[in-house]
Chain A
Amino acid sequence: MSGAAPTYAIAFTGLTLTQVLTVLGVAGGLVFVLYLLKLRRRRVEVPFVKLWETVLAEKQTTRLFSQLKRWLSFLVALAVVALLAFALGDPRPEGALDEGRSLVVLVDASASMQATDVQPSRFERGRQQVERLVEELGPADRMLIAQLDASATPLSPLSGEPRVLRDALEKLEPTDVAANLRAGLHLALDVLRGQPQPEVVLVSDGNLTSDRFNADAFAGELRRAGMRLSWMKVGRRGDNVGVGAFSVRRYPLDKSQSEVLVELYNPGEEDEQVELELLGDGDTVDVQRLTVHAGERLRRFFRNVSGVDQTLEARLRRADGTTDPLEADDRAYARLPQRRRARVCVVSAGNLYLQAALLLDEYLDVDEVTPDAYPCEGEHDVTVFDGFVPPTPPATAALYLYPDVDADDRAGPIEVTGEIERPFFDHVNRRHPLVQFTALRDVNVARALEVRLADGQRAVAWDDRGPLIVTGRQEGHPFVAMTFDLRESDLPLRVAWPLLLLNSIDWFVQEDAGFVSSFETGETWRVPVPAGLEQVTIVDPTGEAREVPVVEGRAVYAGRHAGFYTVRTPEGEETFAANLGPGEESRIAPAESLTVGEIDAGAPTRGEVGVRREIWLYLVLLVLAILAVEWISYHRRVTV
C-alpha cells in the first residue's frame, strides 16, 4: 500500500451547505403539507354503499399494508426533495477540486493576428485552438479566457464550465493594436496566484510588444508562483508590406495646400512591387508604383496636394493585384486641420511689415484702427497692438509688439525692469508651436525691453539677459508679447517674421500648425473638443458609438481600430483619424520561440481524461429513476 488515503469529504461548490439545508427544510415542509392534503380523501357518491361493504370488510385486513404504502410514498417524496436540494449544492469530492489545472488563456488580438497566411485567419485559428483546449479540459480543470491587445481583458471567470468558456470565446474580437505581453502576464499572475497547478497559455504568433517590460522580473515571479508558461503558436509566413507611417500637414504660408508623408515598410525577405494610392476626401489624388526592398522603410512625399479639405487615405496593394496576408496595415488614414477664418484687429499707427505679413494668409479678416480709434468695431478673435497698450486688457487674445512702458514700469501684461542692448535669440523653445519652421538664431535686434516674468508667463525665445518673446494669459485670454521693435531689427526682412506672426494667430485660434493628423491605436487619445463639454460621443470605424468623458477640454479615449472616427457634440460632428500603433505589427513572421526572461514557453499541458465528477448529475438521474418507478407503479395500480 502506498500513497495518501483517499479523501471522501464533499465540498459544495454551488449552494452552501446552509443554503442546501434551508432549501431542504422549506421543500420538506411543503411536501409534508401536500402529504397531509393528499390524506384528505376525494368524496365520491355511490347509489348503494351497502354493496361495497363486503369488499370493505376484506379491506380491513390490508389496512396495515396500506398505511405502510402511504409512509413509503411520503418518504419517496422526501428523498426526491433531498436529492434535488443536494444537487443544487453541486457537491464534489474535495480531492477532485484540488487536483485540476488552473489555466489563464491569453488570446492575442493584435493586428498581426488578422493575417490570413493560415485560413481563415490567425485569430480564428487561435480561437479554434482554444476551443480544443476547452474540450480537453479535465474534470477538475478550470480556465479563464482573456483577450490580449493593448491591455488584457478577461472574458470569463475562472471556470470549468465549457458553456461559459465557449461564450467567452464568442466575445473575442481582433483589434488594430499591438499586443501587450506585460499586461497579459500581470493579469495571469493576479488570477493564478494561490491556485493549484497554475499555467499561462499564450495563443499568439509571438509578435508581442514588451515596452517597459522587465522580463527577468516577470520570469522570477512566474517561477516563484510555480506558474508554467505555454505557447500555442499560430501563423506560418512573414511576407507583408504595410504603411508604416502616414502624416499630413498644411503649408504654413499656403494653407490651401498640404504635404503628405507616407512610409512603406517591407519586413519580409523578398522585394515587393506595390501600388500606392492616395485618396483625398474619398477621391483618388495620386497613384504610384513602387518597389520596396526586403527590410526597407521607403518614404514618399506627396507635395503641394491641393483640393483636399478634410480626409486623406493611403491604400496599398501588390502591383500584381493580389493582397498580402495582412490587410490591416495596407491602409492608413489622416485628417487635415480644419481651416476657419480668423478675425484680427490691428491697432497701429501704421506698420507696413505687419500689414504685408497679414496679407499672406487669405483666411484672415483684418480690421485696422489707429490707437485713437481703439477699440475696433465688431467681434474679433485676435487683437494685434503695435506699440500701443490699451488702458484695459482686451477681451480677445492679444499680440503685443514692443508695447509702450507706462509710469508703473509695465508694458501691458509684462513688467519692465530696464533695457537690453543688442540682444540675440540665444535660446528658442523649438517645441513651442509659435516658433515652428522659423530660424531666429541670427536675427539682429538693436535693443529690447528687459522684463521680469510673472507667474504663468513663459519665455519662448530669450537672450541670456532676458526674454524676447513671452507668452501668458491676461484676464483669461492668451497673449504673446515681443519685447523689441520690429523696425529696430532685421526680423521683418526674414521669412521667420510672417511665420512667427501667423503661428501666433494660429495658436490663438487653436489652429495649431502641429495639428495631430492621426492618432495611433493602442494609446490613450486626447481628442480636442469644444470647450464646456463634460462628455461627447465617439463613433468608431465599425459604427459603434460610445460615450467618452472630457478632461481639460479633450475627450479621453483608447481606440482599438484604425480608420476615421466621428466625435458628436451638441455643436456638430468632427472627424479624426487613427492608424495602427507604432509597434512592429507589419512584421508578421511568427516568432521561432517565445521567452520571458530565462523561461521558454512550452506546449500546453493536456487535461486529465476522465469522467466528470459532477455528483449533481447523478443525483438528478437518481431522481428521474425514482420518478419513473413511481410513475410505472402508479399506472400499474401497484401503489394506489
Chain B
Amino acid sequence: MLDWLRGKKDSGPAKAKRGGDEDLFDEEFQRRLEYLAIVARRVYAGRMRAERRSKKTGAGIEFADHRDYVPGDDFRYLDWNVYQRTGRLLVRLFEEEEDLSVYVLLDTSRSMGMGSPRKIDYGKKLAAALGYVALANLDRVSILSFTDRMEERLAPTRGKNRIFKLFEFLRPLQPDGETGLQDALKTFAAQNKRRGIAILISDLYDPAGFEDGINQLRYAKFEPYVIHLFDPIEVEPPLHGDVRLVDHETGEARDVTITPRILAKYKAAHEAYRKEIADFCGQKQVAYHALRTDVPFDEAILSVLRSGGLVR
C-alpha cells in the first residue's frame, strides 16, 4: 500500500520563484525536497507492494502518467509504443481507484515556539517534506494545525504541483494557545471520516497526558505516526542558581535553586518521559520517532522513512 512511497513519476517540485526574504521554504529547501523524494522512492521501491493494504482494484485502472523505467519495475507496465517512437523506456502509471489519505497534524501550541530553531519551524519543514513526498506519490495530503482544538486546515489535495499550497498554508502558522491533544484529535477524528495515515508532529507537552490524544486516533481507525520534537536545550537547560521557572504555555511558576544534581535529575526525568511515550507507542503498535531539532531536517526525514514506521 502506501503508494506515495513507491516510485512514481517524479518531476520534482515546481521551481517557483519566491521572494528573497528569509523563507522556511526557499529554493534550497525545495531542492532538498526533490532529493528526498528520489531517495525515498529508491529506499522503499521494492518492498511496498505486498506490504500495504490497498483498496485499488486490478482492473479498470485509469492511465495517469509516464515515468522513466528504473530497475525493479514490472516489465508489463513498460510502454513499448513510446519506446518504439522515442527509444526511451517509460513505465505507465495508473491512478488508483481509491488513493491513500495522509493527514499531517502539526502542533502549534506556545511551547512549540521555543528552541533554536523553533520547534514549530522545524515541524513546518517536516510537514512540508512529508507532504511533498506524499504528493509526489499521488496521495491525498491534508495538513492541520492544532493546539487544544483544531485550528487551521488545508483541505486534502493531490498532485506534486500542489506543494505551494502546502507552503502557503504552513507559512503563516504561529505558536499560540495551550496543548490539548485529546480534545483536538477527538475533533479531528470526528471531522475527517476518510481514514488514512495521521502523522502527529508535536512536542507532546500536554499537562493532561499524551496517551488519550493518540488513542483518539487509534480508536478512529487512523494509522497514527508520532513524531516527537524536542530541543537539546530542553534536555539540558543551561541554568544555575536561584531561578523561577515559568511554564511558557500555562504561566505556572515554580521556584527552584538549580544545582548540578538537580539538573541531572531533570535530565533523567526528561529521558523517562520520552521513554514513557516510546513504550506506550510500542505497546499500542504506533510508529514513534523522537527528533532533536538540531538534526538537519532532511537527515531527520530520511531517518523517519528508514525507520520503517510509516510502513506496515
A interface, CB within 8 angstroms of B:
38-39, 41-56, 58-59, 66, 637, 640
Contacts and interface: CB of A to CB of B under 8 A. Distances in A.
Contacts of A49: 245-247, 250, 252-254
B187 to A, nearest CB: 23
A343 to B, nearest CB: 97
A59 B262 contact: yes
A637 B254 contact: no
A55 B114 contact: no
Contact size class for B? 35 or more
8 contacts: A45-B114, A45-B247, A46-B246, A47-B203, A47-B247, A55-B262, A59-B257, A637-B260
A55 B269 contact: yes
B252 A47 contact: no
Contact of A43 (B244, B258, B262, B266): B244
Interface string B228-254: 000000100101111111111110111
Given A44-B243, A55-B256, A58-B265, 9 more contacts: A44-B239, A45-B245, A45-B248, A46-B234, A47-B114, A48-B207, A49-B253, A55-B262, A640-B241
B266 A41 contact: no
Contacts of A39: 242
A43 B247 CA distance: 11
B111 interface: yes
Q: What 4 pairs across the A-B complex have the smallest Cβ distances?
A: A48-B205, A49-B247, A47-B111, A41-B244
Contacts of B247: 45-50
Nearest to B119: A47
Given A45-B114, A46-B248, A56-B256, A51 B266 contact: yes
Contacts of B262: 55, 59
B292 to A, nearest CB: 14
B303 interface: no
Nearest to A638: B259
B243 A43 contact: yes
B241 to A, nearest CB: 5
Nearest to B261: A637
Contacts of B259: 637, 640
Contact of A52 (B111, B245, B249, B250): B245
A637 B243 contact: no
Contact of B243 (A41, A51, A58): A41
Given A54-B269, A55-B262, A640-B259, A44 B245 contact: yes
Given A47-B111, A51-B266, A42 B244 contact: yes
Contacts of A41: 242-244, 255
A496 to B, nearest CB: 108
B254 to A, nearest CB: 6
B240 A640 contact: yes
A8 B253 CA distance: 56
Contacts of B240: 637, 640
Contact of A47 (B234, B244, B256, B257): B234
Contacts of A59: 256-257, 262
A49 to B, nearest CB: 4
B257 A46 contact: no
B56 interface: no
B296 to A, nearest CB: 22
B270 interface: yes
B83 interface: no
Nearest to A53: B254
A118 to B, nearest CB: 68
Contacts of B245: 44-46, 49, 52
Interface in B60-95: none
A56 B245 CA distance: 11
A55 B205 contact: no
Contacts of A48: 111, 203, 205, 207, 234, 247, 249
A41 B243 CA distance: 5
B35 interface: no
User: Could you say which of A43, A46, A50, A56 has the most chain B C-beta atoms within 10 Å of its C-beta?
Assistant: A46
Given A47-B248, A59-B256, A52 B266 contact: yes
A42 B256 CA distance: 10
A45 B246 contact: yes
Nearest to A48: B205
A48 B228 CA distance: 14
A328 to B, nearest CB: 73
Given A51-B266, A55-B265, A43 B254 contact: no
A349 B259 CA distance: 123
User: Could you say which of A44, A47, A66 has the most chain B C-beta atoms within 10 Å of its C-beta?
Assistant: A47
B244 A52 contact: no
A66 to B, nearest CB: 6
Contacts of B207: 48, 50
Contacts of A45: 114, 245-248
Contact of A51 (B115, B257, B269): B269
A43 B234 CA distance: 16
A44 B241 CA distance: 11
A48 B255 CA distance: 14
Given A47-B111, A51-B266, A58-B265, A640 B248 contact: no
A51 B256 CA distance: 13
A66 B261 CA distance: 14
A376 to B, nearest CB: 104
A39 B260 CA distance: 20
Contacts of B234: 46-48
A47 B246 contact: no
Contacts of B243: 41-44
A47 B111 CA distance: 5
